[in-house]
Amino acid sequence: MTTSSIVAAIAALALQAASAQKINGWYPCSIQTFASPTPNPTSSSSSASSSVADEQIHIPGGVGMSLDEPNKISAIFRSLLLPSDLALRTATGAPSVECAEFTMPLCHDAMCASNATVKVFVKRMLAQSRVPAPKALWVLQGGPGASSVNMESIMSTLYDAPGSSLGGSVDIYTMDHRGTGRSSKLSCVATQIETSGSPTKGQVTSDNFPACVKDINTQLSDDGDANLLRGYSTTAAATDLSKMISILDTSASGQTYVYGVSYGTYLVERLMQLANPSIKGYVLDGVVSQSGSKSGQKLSFADWAANTNEVGEGFLTACAKDPACGAHFPTTNAKDTLRSVLSAMDKNPSSSKCSQLTASGVGTGTPPSVLVRSVLSQLLQVQAARSLIPALIYRLSRCNAGDITAIANFFTAYVNIFGGTDESDAYDSTMLYNLVALSELFTYPTPSRASLVASYLNTTIA
C-alpha cells in the first residue's frame, strides 16, 4: 500500500469516525458490573433448561436432596469451575477503569434508511503509563446476543494478574455488541413476552416470536419497517468497533489489537474486511467461519447438534484408549454404552430407576434422552468437568443402588452450579441472537423442524 493510499484510508476512517455523534464519558466505574458474578448455589428455585424445537427440558431442583443441604458433589463442582471473579481478586495493580457510551447511527453507511441513533457501551482498563501512548487490546464476547460482562474477568487476567505478560502496560477495552446489554438492547418490551410472568415464563418461542418481531420493528420505526433490523447486523457492530478504534487511537502507527471468542471471531472477521489502518493484529479464539471452506462448507447453527456430537464422540473414543477409563467398559466402549442407555430409556422410561429419575426431569412428550444429551454437552464445554462424562455413562448403564444415589446427587450439584439465574442474564438479548443466528449463521433454505429434531436425536452428546 502506498503512502498516499494510507493517508486516504486514514482520512476516510476519520470521516466515518466523525459520524459517532458524541461520547458520554469517560466515567470512573468498576471492572465488575455485578457484585455477585455467579449464581447463588443454594437457590431453591434453581433450574436449568434446554430446548429442541421448543420442547423445554427442566432439570428439577432438589432431585434426591434439598438444594440447600451441604453437598460434597457441589463442592467438587465448584472446585472444578474457575470463579469468574478469581482474576479480579488476584490482579496485583489498581488500574483505572472507565466506562462510556458512544452514540452511533442506527444505519451506518446506507445499510438502511433512518436518522435514528443507538448507544454503544464501552468499558476500559487504562495502562499504568500514558507516555508513550500505550497499545490497545479489545476483547469481544461471543453469542450472538451476549453482553460483555463475561469478558471482565478476562480483561483483569490479561491486564496484570499473575501469569499475564502485559503487566498493566496496555489499555484493554470491551463493548456490549449493539442490541445487547447497555447498547440499545433489542427486547420485546410492549409484548412483555420476555418477562418471567409471561405465559412462556420469559421464553421466546415459535408461537410468540412473530409478536416479538412486530414489537421490535415498531420500536425502530412508526411504520414497523423491518429493513431497519439491518442496523443490528454483524456488519453494523463491526462498523461501530472500527469507528471507535479510530476515535481512540492516539498512536502514530496504529497499535490496536482485537481478540474475539466464538461469535466474537465472526465479528472480528467482519472487522478485518473494513481494513482499519489503526489495527495492527487480530486474534481468533474458537473460530466461527465467515466464508466457506474448500469443500464449500461453513458453520451453520442448524448443524450445532451434529458438530457438538462429533467432538463429544471423539472424546468418548479417547476413553477407550485410556487404561483407567476403558477398563470400566470391558465388553464394549463408552460411546456404544451411551447409545444403548439413551435408546433404552426412550423406549421404556420405566426400564430402570435411573431412567425413571431422568424421565422425571423432562416435560411430557420429551424423550428422557434429551436431558442426558444436554447435560453431557454442558459438561463437555468445561474442560475440568469432562472427566465426569464417562463416569455418568457408566453409572447410568449399571444403575445399582449406589449409582442411583450418585446420579441424584449429580443432578442436584448440576442444578446448583449450572442451573441458577445470573444478574447478567438480563443483559443478554434473545432477539439479537435470533436475528444474527437466523439471518447470518443458519442454513438456507431453512431445514424443517422434523429434520432438525431427527438430526438431534441421532446424536449422543448435543
CA neighbor of 97 nearest in space, from 201, 26, 23: 26
pLDDT value at position 392? 96
Question: Can you spell out the DSSP letters for 152-213?
Answer: HHHHHHHHHSTT-SSTT-SEEEEEPPTTSTTTT----TTT-TTSTTSTTTT---TTTHHHHH
pLDDT at residue 422, rounded to an integer: 78
Residue ranges per domain, the chain?
Answer: 13-35+85-285, 48-81+300-457
| Alpha carbon distance 360, 350 (integer Å) | 10
The predicted structure's pLDDT at residue 2: 54
Residue 236: other Cβ atoms inside 10 A: 25
Q: How far apart are the first and last CA of the chain?
A: 47
What residues of the chain score a pLDDT lower than 70? 1-21, 36-94, 252, 292-296, 419-420
Burial class (CB in 10 A: 0-12, 13-18, 19+), 420: buried
Residue-level pLDDT at 78: 40
The CATH classification number of 13-35+85-285 equals 3.40.50
C-alpha cell at 120: 454503544
User: pLDDT at position 39, please?
Assistant: 37
| Confidence at residue 166, expressed as pLDDT on a 0 to 100 scale | 86
